[in-house]
Chain A
Amino acid sequence: MEMTQAKPKPSVGSKLVKHLKKKYQLWLLALPAIVYFIIFHYIPMYGVQIAFKDFIAFKGILGSPWVGFKHFERFFTSYQFGRLITNTLGISFYQLAVGFPAPIILALLLNQTKNQKYKKFIQTLTYAPHFISVVVMVGIILLFLSPQSGIINHMIAWTGLERINFMAEPAYFKTIYVFTGVWQSAGWGAVIYLASLSSISPSLYEAARIDGANKWHLIRYIDMPSIMPTAVILLIMNVGRIMNVGFQKTYLMQNPLNLESSEIIATYIYKVGLLDAQYSYSAAIGLFNTIINIILLVTVNRISRKVTETSLW
């Protein structure tokens, strides 16, 4: 750009040197992050190849022999396969159906509240559970649902009904998982929608009022369309993680009695991989999971770009 352009064709090397001379400070500021992501994210990616090998500890990742799709075939034909897929997708779709709209509804309600103090109070209250750890959350679930001493069962008993051993019944697992999730995170999830609602110009509401719109119309025709882009983006991201049902909460809520409906891919990977030390098999299942996620993400993103003109990339 400057006078140094006198040289007709600078080589790639000298261009690079020039670039680094000018920008080295920016690169240095980015360097810790780059190194960090190489060490903690990229090198483990390289280890994914053990999914196609029989990993032998003393031979290392490189030295272990290739076995092709052996571990994948084993997984696809195992009796666990159907159950794991059903549970993983089941919890995920259930969560999407209930957990996704919940913060939107909450945000729409909060946004239409005139009394700022009331709004603030409810808002602060509803996102408090977000800060509770998974362990504590599951602890609370177990305490409340306990068949003998839990308050939920006391209430059931007062109405004269039979006490329910919730955690021992596979049928209840997914519902407990999803609704406690709503309790914990709807308020927090509403924050982002409230942010986009707050950017709506008041004149839009006034104009609608003059046209005779009532409150319901305002919500339906102004609020909802205005949060659509945010909702679509979050939906795409949620779908892209559909196979990633939270390991932590599921694992903590599991017990031998509800395993039938609570064993998901993530918990299975942990058990097979770390507890049974079947490294290659477990890595293959993990890779399968990731690939499904990526396919879903790309597909949904493409559909969304066509239908709603909103997309991640």
Chain B
Amino acid sequence: MTKQKASTGASDKTVDIMIYIILGLIGLGVAYPLYFIIIASFSDPTMVNTGQVILLPKKTTFEGFALLFHHNDLWIGYRNTIIYALSGSGIGIIITMMVAYTLSIRDFKSGRFIMFFLMITLYFNGGLIPTYLWMKKINLTNTPFIMILLGSVSVFNIILARTFIRSSLSKELYEAAVIDGCTHFQYFFQIVLPLSKAIIAVLGLYYGVFHWNDYFRALIYLRDGELYPLQLFLRSILVEASADMELLDVEEVIKQQRLVELIKYGLIIVSSLPILMVYPFLQKYFVKGVMIGSVKG
């Protein structure tokens, strides 16, 4: 190694400052679009569309949000998504924790076989059409159950939970419990579950986000508008730009278009806020859980 002691001090400071600046720019780049959506949602759409809203909202109005509140489809979508997310995540967490416990037992030889059985599905699957035909055959298409069940247990999450249980509960604890005549059921329900709050929170977040944001299953398997989740509704307004005009109760086309523009930004906020708001509460668990899970997969 060449000696560079003399230059160390100065160049370190330069590097430090550069890192601060680069990170600042990255942060700005990420934050501005989000910030823009917020100010645009409070501004008059004409101002937004003509490029006059840059740093602060112009001609502040809450009209967009007011309109959203009267939009029935939005609330149907909201309700459905909440139902799907709660029940889907609940089932996902239960199945995941149970099998993760089994897999965490090191001297359970068959565990390796079960792991292999699960891992195969990561790399090989039936694909869209065979899955679709099977779902149709067992009558899950166009029911809420398809949204709650299909794809709702993830092998990655099982591995994450298994790693967590292995690393956060000591072997000694397990052995002591076994000597005391504790069965696996007792150990799982009375010791593992209460000590796994962190990983349960992480699983809840992962499964919850998956259900909240999913539109793929709905697109493929749902026909009935009453069952549509939030995301399908969002697509019709944000992507296809075809809001159900009669619900808005306005006559002139220009005005209608203005309103569609108006509600778009508000809609992004209203639909994304819940998931963004849950996150900070789970963060302390989350960091712990992910760190432990990522140490060795």
Contact = CB atoms under 8 A, between A and B. Distances in A.
The residue among B130, B131, B264, B276 with the most chain A CB atoms within 10 A of its own CB is B130
Interface string B139-172: 0000000000111010000100000000000000
Contacts of A158: 51
B62 interface: no
Interface residues of A, number: 91
Contacts of A247: 216
Given A151-B51, A211-B1, A215-B11, A122 B23 contact: yes
Contacts of A252: 235, 239
Contact of A29 (B102, B234, B238, B268): B102
A29 B239 contact: no
Contact of A274 (B132, B290, B297): B132
A180 B101 CA distance: 38
9 contacts: A23-B110, A26-B184, A33-B96, A40-B151, A144-B33, A191-B290, A212-B3, A215-B11, A286-B128
B26 to A, nearest CB: 7
Contacts of B185: 25, 29
**6 smallest beta-carbon distances between A and B, as pairs:** A44-B126, A139-B238, A47-B130, A154-B51, A286-B127, A133-B213
B124 A138 contact: no
A283 interface: yes
Contact of A290 (B24, B127, B153, B158): B127
A148 B213 CA distance: 29
A126 B27 contact: yes
Contact of B294 (A196, A214, A282): A196
Contacts of A154: 50-51
A212 B7 CA distance: 9
A300 interface: no
A286 B254 CA distance: 44
Nearest to B101: A29
B30 A45 contact: no
A135 interface: yes
Interface in A7-49: 19, 23, 25-27, 29-30, 32-34, 36-37, 39-48
Contacts of B65: none
A133 B121 contact: no
A110 B138 CA distance: 50
Given A25-B183, A214-B12, A286 B129 contact: yes
A282 to B, nearest CB: 5
B69 interface: no
Interface in B173-221: 183-185, 188, 209, 212-216, 220
A153 to B, nearest CB: 8
**Range of interface residues on chain B?**
35 or more
A142 B185 CA distance: 52
B242 interface: no
Given A47-B133, A240-B123, A274 B128 contact: yes
B30 A274 contact: no
Contact of A195 (B1, B213, B291): B291
Given A37-B153, A212-B5, A297-B123, A183 B29 contact: yes
A14 B214 CA distance: 47
A122 B108 contact: no
Interface in B108-126: 108, 110-111, 114, 117-118, 121, 123-126
B238 A142 contact: yes
The residue among B11, B26, B149, B297 with the most chain A CB atoms within 10 A of its own CB is B26
Nearest to A288: B127
Interface string B52-96: 001000000000000000000000000000000000000000111
Contact of B129 (A136, A191, A273): A273
A58 interface: no
B188 A29 contact: yes
A267 B94 CA distance: 33
Contact of B15 (A27, A48, A215): A215
A55 B137 CA distance: 14
Contacts of B23: 109-110, 113, 118, 122
Interface in B230-248: 231, 234-235, 237-239
B124 A135 contact: no
A50 interface: yes
A158 B131 CA distance: 51
Contacts of B184: 25-26, 29
B15 to A, nearest CB: 4
A133 B133 contact: no
Contact of B235 (A29, A46, A135): A135
Interface string A130-146: 01111110111011100
Nearest to B153: A36
A33 B264 contact: no
Contacts of A294: 123-124
Interface in A123-178: 125-126, 128-129, 131-136, 138-140, 142-144, 148-149, 151, 154, 157-158
B16 A114 contact: yes
A128 B275 CA distance: 10
